[in-house]
A and B are shown apart, each in its own frame.
Chain A
Amino acid sequence: MAEHVAGCELFESGHRACGGCGPALAARLLLNATGENAIVVASTGCMEVFSTPYPETAWKVPWIHSLFENAAAVASGIEASLKRQGRSEKVLCVCGDGATFDIGVLCISGAFERGHDITYICYDNEAYMNTGIQRSGATPYDASTTTSPAGACSTGNQRPKKDMPAILAAHGAPYVATASISYPQDFMKKVEKALNTPGPCYIQVHAPCCTGWGFEAGETLNIGKLAIETGMWVNFEMENGEVTKVKKVKRKPVEEYLSRQKRFRHLFKPQRRDAEIAKIQAIADRNAEKYGIDIKKKE
Chain B
Amino acid sequence: MALNVGCAARPGKARKNKTGSWRVFRPVFESEQCTKCGMCALVCPEGCVIETEEGEFVPDYEYCKGCGICAEVCPKKGIRMEQEEK
Contact = CB atoms under 8 A, between A and B. Distances in A.
Interface of A: 1-7, 9, 11-22, 24-25, 28-29, 51, 54-60, 181, 184, 210, 216-222
Contacts of A15: 14, 17, 19, 46
Nearest to A17: B45
Given A25-B45, A54-B9, A221-B73, A13 B14 contact: yes
Given A5-B51, A51-B14, A221-B73, A13 B46 contact: yes
Determine chain B's interface SS by DSSP, over half rule.
Answer: loop
B67 interface: yes
Given A12-B11, A54-B7, A57-B11, A28 B68 contact: no
B78 interface: no
A28 B67 contact: no
A89 to B, nearest CB: 16
B59 to A, nearest CB: 11
A13 B42 contact: no
Interface residues of B, number: 38
Closest A-B pairs by Cβ, 5 of them: A218-B68, A19-B65, A20-B67, A19-B67, A13-B63
Interface in B29-86: 38, 41-51, 60, 62-63, 65-69, 71-73, 81
A2 B44 CA distance: 12
A1 B50 CA distance: 14
A217 B9 contact: no
B9 A56 contact: yes
Contacts of B72: 218-219, 221-222
Contacts of B67: 19-21, 210, 217-218, 220
B60 A13 contact: yes
A58 B45 contact: no
Given A11-B47, A220-B67, A184 B14 contact: no
